[in-house]
Amino acid sequence: MKIRTLLRAALIPAVLAAAAVAMPSALAAPPSSEPPTMSPAIVGGSQATETYSFMGSMQVNGRHGCGASLVASQWMVTAAHCVTGQGGQVMPASQFRIRIGSTNTGSGGTLASVSQVVRHPSYSGQVGPGDIALFKLSSAVSQAPISINDSSPAAQASTRLIGFGQTCPQQGCGGSSTTLKQLDTRINPDNMCSAGFNASTELCVYSTTSQTACYGDSGGPAVVKVGSAWRLVGATSRAGANGSTCGTGNATIYTDVTAYRSWVNQYVGGSGPGPDPEPPTCSAAAWSPYTQYPPQSSVSYQGYEWRNSTWSYRETPGYSYNWQRVGTCARR
């Protein structure tokens, strides 16, 4: 299995496997017939030095599958692949429980149910942009949320990864952990990531096979320190290079949550559904994965205008030869 398919398959546990491992390129927890009995999460790093009130363990039938971050009293950010079933559909909200504000997946904090799952409309189930989703909790929780950072971190900026994922880098070497771990690392230059990396909406995070996010960490946070407060910048998406071992190529790809800030705020602020609005200088309508486009259609996507040569459906501009870039819009 290529590592581009690694992180998605690896971050969803066995209980989710039948329903959610449609695109095994992410870091969902791997199948396991028994509850894990291993050291803390993430490969390398250290025991969590804080409770991290915003940290969530997304669970199905009591088993950890992915991480999530509390960004408002009733809303959490995670990865889109964590909520996607085998057929590409959004999984029912009733399947999920999230333990929030605890360093243990089995106790402490608040165990919340989910009333709504919102997947970003640009997520196509393939490697690439849009790997972000929201959980609306059935009721508000008392834990303190984390703010989304004002801007994307620059290359070489320090960042901290937090998660309950497995502690060994090889696929299938162990299940998810019951205790929380953290890893201090940095942001890579964009050219260190491959696997369909999109610099405008994703972060390339430095990793090694002994210091990395891994299977079970998908959707979990990458944070930066601003003054005395943590700010959210990323959600674990997939490995940064081909291979089935976490940290291969010295890179892990995170969704840049700051790039989707306006989309998140549409829900958290209560203004309703919809994708990020395109810049006003984009004359074409925003691309949608749910629209069939006849030849010579024009769409706007990620700050550019695109035109297709043949019929197109669920083909992401910039990731399909069918779409050719024909113009530039103002970048978000």
The CATH number that domain 1-276 falls under is: 2.40.10.120
The active-site residue, picked from 69, 81, 120, 276, is 81
Concatenating the DSSP letter of every residue in 164-200 gives ---SSSBTTS----SB-EEEEEEBPPGGG--TT--TT
Q: Sorting pLDDT into bands at 50, 70 and 90, what band is 36? A: very low
How far apart, in whole angstroms, are the C-alpha atoms of residue 250 and residue 31? 25
Vertex 27: Cα angle to 21 and 33 (nearest 5): 60
Task: Give the residue carrying structure tokens 């989309």.
Answer: 263
On whether the pTM is more than 0.85, the answer is no
pLDDT in tens, 118-136: 999 888 776 667 999 999 9
The active-site residue, picked from 120, 122, 131, 217, is 131
The class (CATH top level) of 279-332 is mainly beta
- Domain extents for the chain? 1-276, 279-332
* 81 in catalytic set: yes
| pLDDT at position 26 over 90 | no
In Å, how far are 13, 30, 46, 63, 175 from 34, measured between CA atoms? 11, 12, 25, 10, 9
Percent of the chain with pLDDT over 90: 42
**Mean pLDDT lowest for which of 5-19, 51-65, 66-80, 249-263?**
5-19
Instruction: Report residue 304 as tokens.
Output: 């550019």
pLDDT in tens, 282-325: 678 887 777 888 888 988 876 678 888 888 887 777 666 777 87
The active-site residue, picked from 32, 152, 218, 312, is 218
Percent of the chain with pLDDT over 70: 77
In Å, how far are 52, 94, 102, 113, 127 from 61, measured between CA atoms? 24, 11, 18, 12, 28
pLDDT in tens, 186-242: 999 998 887 678 899 999 999 888 788 887 888 999 999 999 999 999 999 988 776
